[in-house]
Amino acid sequence: MLSSMALVGQRLAPSAALATMPLALAPVATMLMTVPAARLMQRRGRRLGFALGAALGVFGGVMGCIAVYQENFLLLCLGGLGIGAVNGFATYYRFAAGEVVAEDLRSRAISLVMAGGVIAAVTGSNLATWSRGWFPDDLFAGSFLGIAIVHSLVLLVLCFVRFPALSPEEKRAGGRSLAQIARQSDFALAVIGAVAAWGVMSLLMNATPLAMKRHLHSFADTTWVIQWHVLGMFVPSFFTGHLISRWGEPRIMFAGICLLGGSIAVNLSGIELYHYATGLALLGVGWNFLFVGSTALLATTHRPEEKARVQSCNDFLVFGLMVLTSFSAAPLEGMLGWDRLNHLAAPFLAVVAVVMGVLWIRAGRSA
């Protein structure tokens, strides 16, 4: 999807400014699904929710395939909504992992679930390149069909998975209000970290295929860069949990902030292929440290009966900013160019670092 959607959108969109709209609609759907997905899982369990999410992925992939075949931009947007809706459910896989292990293993469990993205890095970009030629007269139609097939496999796997039964506390709606929970410095630190991780990453990642095309890089080069980016996002997950156990969530989160800053510095140093690859790889690693650390910290701020409220609030805010950055990526890249876009991200990251530092100090004083 990352490799293909923006380029297909650029071809089918009525104007260049709308090129990333189908891709931007994915986090819109994710954001809108986070709250109902959490409530459904609280009442009916994780398995049903994950299966419904995979079914939406099949629908989105099929719609994308038909959109390319019919050269229909609106159907492509519908496909983006369907594919994006998946994450409204799938985002809770990481929380589900943390809930079924001992407390001292929570960060490692979350990290290992995130490590599954290594498969996406190895297969996703290659699948996009390989499958786009399945229908020679309709390039990229096969890529969306491939997405539908992947989600069909998820549905098949879920037939053999059994999640623990919900406890009475988990089913019961109650506990503290969200306003009371939000007064915790750790909660604010976790949410701000997660939102910043996705906001910076989404803005730069979505603009990358368009910037590389502007600078005359091939589609194969773009998919290679995206592959390194996704590897950077998920390979660290094999050891992020161990680092969190040793150094604590806030330190790993601040390491992520520094890596995101390093990515911006590399992006500003040139437009050769190795600049894009290195910058996007650092962007991925920085996202991993900041987001996994934030997720692990968030899990310590709520009781069992509060988890749906807290988790859905966190992810609603995360994907809300993703909506903004995804929609703005194409027009900003078109108006400002790659260098100025990175200059725009730098002060935002600096403000986030200062706010997180203040919250960390406050959390330490109240502990």
The reported pLDDT for the residue numbered 347 is: 93
The reported pLDDT for the residue numbered 59 is: 94
DSSP-based three-state secondary structure for 220: helix
CA–CA separation, 326 and 320 (whole Å) = 10
The reported pLDDT for the residue numbered 362 is: 85
The reported pLDDT for the residue numbered 21 is: 81
Span 215-236, pLDDT tens digits: 889 888 988 898 889 889 988 9
Q: How many domains does the chain have?
A: 1
State the amino acid at position 223 in one-letter form: T
Span 248-259, pLDDT tens digits: 999 999 999 999
Burial (Cβ within 10 Å: 0-12, 13-18, ≥19) of residue 250: buried
Q: What is the mean pLDDT of residues 42-47?
A: 84
The reported pLDDT for the residue numbered 260 is: 97
171 pLDDT tier (thresholds 50, 70, 90) = low
Q: Residue 156 pLDDT > 80, yes or no?
A: yes
Q: What is the mean pLDDT of residues 106-122?
A: 79
DSSP codes joined into one string, 147-210: HHHHHHHHHHHHTT--PPPPPHHHHS--SS-HHHHHTSHHHHHHHHHHHHHHHHHHHHHHHHHH
Q: Residue 367 pLDDT > 60, yes or no?
A: no
Span 266-311, pLDDT tens digits: 999 999 999 999 999 999 999 999 999 998 899 888 877 777 788 8
Span 322-348, pLDDT tens digits: 778 877 888 888 888 999 999 999 999
For the chain, give the mean pLDDT: 86
Tokens of 89: 């459910």
If residue 301 lies in a helix (H) or strand (E), which one and from where to where?
Answer: none
The reported pLDDT for the residue numbered 174 is: 64
CA–CA separation, 197 and 289 (whole Å) = 9
The reported pLDDT for the residue numbered 272 is: 92
Greater confidence (17 vs 287) lies with 287
* Domain extent at residue 261: 5-366
Q: Residue 17 pLDDT > 90, yes or no?
A: no
Q: Residue 202 pLDDT > 80, yes or no?
A: yes
Percent of the chain residues past pLDDT 70, beyond the cut: 96
355 pLDDT tier (thresholds 50, 70, 90) = very high
Here the CATH number for the domain that contains residue 91 is 1.20.1250.20
136 pLDDT tier (thresholds 50, 70, 90) = confident
CA–CA separation, 35 and 85 (whole Å) = 12
Q: Residue 73 pLDDT > 70, yes or no?
A: yes
